[in-house]
Amino acid sequence: MDHNEKKNDKPQTTFDPDKVDENSKNQQLEAFREDPKEQYYTTNQGLRISDTDNSLTAGDRGPTLLEDFHLREKMTHFDHESIPERIVHARGSGAHGYFQAYDDSMKKYTKAKFLTEPNRRTPVFVRFSTVVGSRGSADTVRDVRGFATKFYTAEGNYDLVGNNMPPFFIQDGIKFPDLVHSIKPEPHNEMPQASAAHDNFWDFASLMPESTHMLMWVLSDRAIPRSFRMMEGFGVHTFRFINEEGKGRFVKLHWRPMLGVKSLVWDEAQKLAGKDADWLRRDLWEAIEEGNYPEFELGVQIVEEEDEHAFAFDLLDPTKLIPEELVPITPIGKMVLNRNPDNFFAETEQVAFHPGNLVPGIDVTNDPLLQGRLFSYLDTQLNRFHSSNFVEVPINRPVVPVHNVNGAGFMRHTINKGKVNYTPNSLGGGCPMMAPEKMGGYVHYMEKVEGHKIRKRSESFDDHYSQATLFWNSMTETEKKHIVSALHFELGKVETLAVRERMVHNLAHVDLDLAAMVAEGIGVEVPTGSVAEKVKSTLASFKEKLSSKKMVDESPALSQEKGKKKTVATLKIAVLADHGVDAEQVMQIKEALKAEGVEAKIVSKFFGKLKGKNGNELEVDKNHVTTASIMFDAVLIPAGKESVEAMKKQGDALHFVNEAFKHCKTIAALGEGIELLQSSHIQGVDFVQPEASSVTTSKGVVTAGTGADVKSFVSSFLESLGEYRHWEREEKAMIPA
Ligand code: HDE
C-alpha cells in the first residue's frame, strides 16, 4: 500500500487525454477493419483458397470428406454466427458522431470534462431501438424508443442509456422482469409480436397504477415517431452532478432533436410496418449517407440538494418528470451523428451499454429503478457474449488505455505483460496504481445514508395519478383524441372484460371524461355515481396532502403539438407525374425546395423517363408498386394536362392523394393538377381552381393557378409543410385511408 501512495502523485502514463478528439474512436476502429478489395479469399488462418463452391469429395458423386478443413471451418463459423438478442431493445439502429459542449458554464455544476470543454469534440456511438419486438420486428410499432449514447470521453466511457419518454412504467427494478414478461409476446403461443395490445400486458398494467403516467406517453403520438432524428431523448432518472469542490446537485438529462419532434399517424405506422419494416432504420441510414446529419441538443434540469423535497413528487421516483415550468431546461451542448457503422453486427449489435459507466462529475442516485439497472446491464452482457471480455470488442473499448488486473476469460484479447496480476504488489512496482481524485480517480459521491433494512416502497412514491392527469391536461384536443383512439385499439384487443374494466377504473383517476370516452369504445360501463365520487375524493385528498409542494396543473412543454418546431429540412415530398407533365415547373420547384433541405422525388406508374409537355424529360425515382404516400411527408401534383388525365385513370395515383389527405399531410396542386384532387374521392372538401396567377391554402391544401409564380407557390407550400399535419381534416375523413 505504501508503495502505491508514493507513486500516486507522479504523472503516471504516457497517454495524453488532451489528444482525445472527434476522430479518436474512428482511428481506433480502423485497426480492426477488414476490406476485401483486390484481396484473395483466405481461410481464417490466412490460407488462400482456390474453390469455395465445391466440397472435397471422394470421387465424382461420392461422399464429402471429413478432412475438408475449408468446408468444416466455413460451416462451423456459420453455425455460430448468432448471439442471443437483447431481452429488451433487441431491434436497434446505430450511428457514430460527436458531442461538443457549447461553453464551460457547466463547470459550476460538474467536473465532467466532456460537458465543460467547448473546444473538444468527444466521439459518441448512439443506438436507437424499440423495446418489445425481436431483432427482426417492424420499426413503426407503438412502443417506447431507446436512445442510448456511449460517450468515448478522455476520462473513460460514459453511457447515457435513455428513452424517448421521460417517465417509466415502474418504480422499482424488481418489477422489471414482470413488466417485460407481461408486455412481450405471451409465453404459450408467442403472440403478439412487438405489441402491448394483448391481455397479459393490460392485466399487469391495470394492477400497477404506478404505470399510469407512462401509459399516457405510450398511448400518445410519441410512441410512433416519424424518425429517430425527430424524437426527444430522456435520461429518465434523476442523476447527480458533482463539481470540483465536491458539491452535488440533482440533474435530469434531455436530448432535443434540432429537427423538432414529429410523429406518424397510427394508420400510417401500421401500414409502414408492412410496406417497409425498416422505416426508421432506413431513414437514419439514408439521412447520414446524404449528409443530413441528425443533431440533438443536450439539456439539463438542475435541482439544488436543499430543494430535494420541495416538489409534489419524489425526485427519486422514475415514474415522474420535473415539469419544465418548475425547472427550466438549460441547453449545454450538441451531438451530431455523422457516420454510419461499417458493420451492423460488429458495431450496432455488439455495443454494450451500462448506466453504471460513469465519469468523474456524474454519479447515480438512490432511484430504486436505476439501482436495479446498475446490476442488470453488466449481467445481461454475459448472456449475450458469454464472457466479461465483451469490453474488448472494438465498439466497446474506451479511447483511453485500460490498465487493471482483470485478466483471462473467454476471448481475452489484451496481452497483459509481466508476472503480476494482483494488487497490492511490490513485484510489479505497485502498478497499476490507484489514482487519487486530483489525478482523475473516480470518487463516489459521499451521500449520507442510514436506515433499517426494509422491503417497502417509500410513501413519497404513492401518488400515481397527478402526473398522468398533468399530461392529459396539457394535451391539445387532437392529442387527446389520439390517446383515446390508441386506448380503443389497445384495450379493444384485450379479451378479458375484467381487465378492460380495471383499466377504465384506473383511467378515471386520470380524468373522468377520458375514462368515459374509453369505456364507450370497449364495452365497459362508464364510472359514475358513487364510483366517480370515490375517485374524486381519493384524488382530492392527495392534492391536499401535497398542496404545499411545488407542482403545476398544466405543462404546455409536454405537448408535442404546442411545442411544435416548424422545421421542414429533410422532409420528403412525392411529386406525382406522368407523361406530359410540366417538367420545367417540376425542376424549378425541386430546386427551390432543395434550397430549404426538402427533397422531392418523382413518383409515377412505371420507372424510366417521363416526356414533359415541352419536350423536357423527367427521371422517375419511385414507381407506385414499391412506394406509397405513407413513405412521404407531403404530396405535390404539378401541372400538365396529359399527365393529370393519365393519373385520373390510375387507382394508385388517386389513392396516393386520398391517403395523404386522410393522414393530414400537406398536399399541393398546380394548374391542371387540381383536377386530380377533385377526382381523388376526398369527401367534404371542394378544391377550387384559384385565379390564374394566385396561390390559395386551405386546411393544408395548397393550390396554384396556371400562371402562378413558382416562388410564391413554394413559399406557401413550405409554410403548410412546416405545420406538418393539418388535424382539422381528421374530422372529415369519414372513411379511413
Ligand atoms: Fe433497460 N435494459 N432496463 N431501461 N435499456 C437493457 O441491457 C433494464 C430501463 C434501455 O441499445 C438491457 O444491454 C432493467 C429504463 C435502453 O443496447 C437490460 C430496468 C430505461 C436499452 C436492461 C431497465 C432503459 C436498454 C437489455 C429496470 C430508460 C438498449 C440489453 C430496472 C432510462 C441499450 C442490454 C442498447 C437495455 C435492463 C429500465 C433504457 C436487460 C433491469 C428506465 C435504451 O440489461
Q: Is the pLDDT of residue 11 over 60?
A: no
Contact 603, 635 (CB under 8 A): no
Q: Which domain holds residue 312?
A: 15-56+64-173+221-421
502 lines ligand 1 (CB under 6 A): no
- Binning pLDDT at 50, 70 and 90, where does residue 220 land? very high
Q: Using CB atoms within 10 Å of the CB of residue 187, give its burial: 0 to 12 exposed, 13 to 18 middle, 19+ buried.
A: exposed
**394492477: which residue's cell?**
207
pLDDT computed for residue 526 by the predictor = 87
Distances (CA, A) of 94 to 387, 416, 519: 23, 31, 41
Task: Report the candidate in 267, 476, 252, 468 with the shortest Cα–Cα distance to residue 365.
Answer: 252
Based on the residue annotation, tell me whether 163 is a catalytic residue of this protein: yes
The predicted-structure confidence for 32-43, as pLDDT tens digits, reads as follows 999 999 999 999
- Atom 3 of ligand 1, nearest CA residue: 373
Who's near 417: CB < 8 A, 6+ residues apart?
A: none
Q: How many CB atoms lie within 10 A of CB 544?
A: 9
Residue 670 lies in a domain: yes
Helix (H, G, I), strand (E, B) or coil at 622: strand
Of the residues 388, 421, 454, which one is the last residue of a structural domain?
A: 421
pLDDT computed for residue 12 by the predictor = 53
Task: Report the candidate in 527, 526, 523 with the shortest Cα–Cα distance to residue 495.
Answer: 523
94 lines ligand 1 (CB under 6 A): no
For residue 236, the ligand 1 atom closest to its alpha carbon is: 32
pLDDT computed for residue 539 by the predictor = 84
Based on the residue annotation, tell me whether 54 is a catalytic residue of this protein: no
Residue 491 lies in a domain: no
- Atom 8 of ligand 1, nearest CA residue: 373
Task: Report the candidate in 339, 445, 456 with the shortest Cα–Cα distance to residue 22.
Answer: 339
Contact 657, 667 (CB under 8 A): yes
Task: Tell me which of 85, 125, 131, 161 to substitute to probe ligand 1's pocket, judged by most ligand atoms within 8 Å of the beta carbon.
Answer: 161
C-alpha cell at 631: 413513405
Helix (H, G, I), strand (E, B) or coil at 637: strand
Query: Residue 303 forms beta bridges with which residues?
Result: 250
Report the complex ipTM: 0.98
CATH code for position 583: 3.40.50.880
Of the residues 391, 421, 451, which one is the last residue of a structural domain?
A: 421
Distance from Cα 369 to the centre of ligand 1, integer Å:
11
Bond from prior residue into 432 cis (ω within 30 degrees of 0): yes
Strand 156-163, strand 145-153: pairing: antiparallel
Task: Give, in degrees to the nearest 5, the angle at Cα 608 between 603 and 614.
Answer: 85
Dihedral over Cα of 389, 390, 391, 397: its sign: positive
The predicted-structure confidence for 334-354, as pLDDT tens digits, reads as follows 999 999 999 999 999 999 999
Who's near 244: CB < 8 A, 6+ residues apart?
A: 107, 111
Distance from Cα 150 to the centre of ligand 1, integer Å:
14
pLDDT computed for residue 528 by the predictor = 86
Helix (H, G, I), strand (E, B) or coil at 302: strand
Contact 231, 164 (CB under 8 A): yes
Residue 246 lies in a domain: yes
Task: Give, in degrees to the nearest 5, the angle at Cα 344 between 343 and 350.
Answer: 105
C-alpha cell at 519: 369505456
Contact 149, 124 (CB under 8 A): yes
Cα–Cα distance for residue pair 149/531, rounded to 1 Å:
46
Q: Is the pLDDT of residue 685 over 90?
A: no
Residue 208 lies in a domain: no
92 lines ligand 1 (CB under 6 A): yes
623 lines ligand 1 (CB under 6 A): no
Contact 160, 235 (CB under 8 A): yes
Residue 560 lies in a domain: no
For residue 380, the ligand 1 atom closest to its alpha carbon is: 44
- Tell me 553's DSSP state: S
Helix (H, G, I), strand (E, B) or coil at 201: helix
Q: How many CB atoms lie within 10 A of CB 30?
A: 11
The predicted-structure confidence for 527-565, as pLDDT tens digits, reads as follows 888 888 888 888 888 888 888 999 999 999 999 999 999
Instruction: Report the share of the chain in percent with pLDDT over 70.
Output: 98
If one counts the domains in the chain, the total is 2
Strand 622-623, strand 599-604: pairing: parallel
The predicted-structure confidence for 114-155, as pLDDT tens digits, reads as follows 999 999 999 999 999 999 999 999 999 999 999 999 999 999
Cα–Cα distance for residue pair 730/479, rounded to 1 Å:
12
Dihedral over Cα of 321, 325, 327, 330: its sign: positive
pTM check: above 0.95: yes
Rg (CA), the chain: 29
pLDDT computed for residue 576 by the predictor = 98
Of the residues 403, 421, 439, which one is the last residue of a structural domain?
A: 421
CATH code for position 308: 2.40.180.10
Distance from Cα 178 to the centre of ligand 1, integer Å:
14
Residue 275 lies in a domain: yes
Distance from Cα 500 to the centre of ligand 1, integer Å:
29
Q: Using CB atoms within 10 Å of the CB of residue 655, give its burial: 0 to 12 exposed, 13 to 18 middle, 19+ buried.
A: middle
Q: Which of 89, 96, 354, 663 is catalytic?
A: 89
C-alpha cell at 652: 394508385
* Residue type (1 letter), 342: D
Residue 451 lies in a domain: no
The predicted-structure confidence for 254-265, as pLDDT tens digits, reads as follows 999 999 999 999
| C-alpha dihedral, 450 to 456 to 457 to 462, nearest 10° | -120
pLDDT computed for residue 538 by the predictor = 85
Tell me phi and psi for residue 585, to 5 degrees: -60, -45
Q: How many CB atoms lie within 10 A of CB 2?
A: 9
Bond from prior residue into 318 cis (ω within 30 degrees of 0): no
The predicted-structure confidence for 365-390, as pLDDT tens digits, reads as follows 999 999 999 999 999 999 999 999 99
pLDDT computed for residue 734 by the predictor = 72
Structure-model confidence comparison of residues 242 and 687, the more confident one: 242
Task: Tell me which of 144, 169, 252, 353 to substitute to probe ligand 1's pocket, judged by most ligand atoms within 8 Å of the beta carbon.
Answer: 353
What's the whole-number average pLDDT of the chain?
A: 96
Task: Report the candidate in 334, 331, 311 with the shortest Cα–Cα distance to residue 323.
Answer: 311
Cα–Cα distance for residue pair 205/182, rounded to 1 Å:
9
- Atom 18 of ligand 1, nearest CA residue: 377
Cα–Cα distance for residue pair 71/664, rounded to 1 Å:
56
pLDDT computed for residue 13 by the predictor = 65
HSE at residue 401, side-chain half, CA atoms within 13 A, is 11
Residue 734 lies in a domain: no
**394483448: which residue's cell?**
198
Task: Report the candidate in 67, 78, 69 with the shortest Cα–Cα distance to residue 42.
Answer: 69
Task: Give, in degrees to the nearest 5, the angle at Cα 367 between 365 and 372.
Answer: 105
Contact 603, 628 (CB under 8 A): no
The predicted-structure confidence for 637-677, as pLDDT tens digits, reads as follows 999 999 999 999 999 999 999 999 999 999 999 999 999 99
